[in-house]
Amino acid sequence: MRSTQRSRLLSLLQSRHGQWVPLPEILSLGFSQFGARILELRRDGHAITNKTEHRAGKVLSWYRLDSEPKPEKRPEPSGHALLSSFPEFGTLAKESYGVD
């Protein structure tokens, strides 16, 4: 599998889960639009927090992965939901389609 910028950034944040990762370390991954990758990860459901501090006339930034996305639970379809999804079939009796 080809390593993407997003997967490399996520791997870095996961390796330091809950800890602040300084921006220079993120930039050392070698891509310039890290903000776009952060946004993509957030849209995928990753809780990523950032903080900034002003020191000696410089702005310092850190990022932290707080939580992973929760897996989606899809409800099991009920028999009634399936019937209403395909009204053209009506109610099929076993014998009407050759099942004993």
48-95 pLDDT, tens digit each: 999 999 999 999 999 999 988 877 766 665 555 555 555 565 665 555
Stretch 8-32: mean pLDDT? 94
pTM beyond 0.85: no
Instruction: Phi first, then psi: give them for residue 7, nearest 5 degrees.
Output: -65, -35
Residue 56, pLDDT score: 95
CATH number for the domain that contains residue 63? 1.10.10
Within-domain flag for 58: yes
Q: Where does the pLDDT of residue 1 fall: very low under 50, low under 70, confident under 90, or very high at 90 and above?
A: very low
Residue with more model confidence, 96 or 35:
35
CB 23 within 8 A of CB 61: yes
Residue 41, pLDDT score: 94
Check residue 94 and report its DSSP letter. G
Count of domains for the chain: 1
Per-residue pLDDT for 45 more than 50? yes
The residues pairing with 58 across neighbouring beta strands, listed in sequence order, are: 55
**Residue 35 belongs to domain spanning:** 5-67
Within-domain flag for 92: no
Within-domain flag for 87: no
Q: Where does the pLDDT of residue 6 fall: very low under 50, low under 70, confident under 90, or very high at 90 and above?
A: very high
Collect contacts of 50-55 with beta carbons under 8 A, ≥24 apart. 51/20
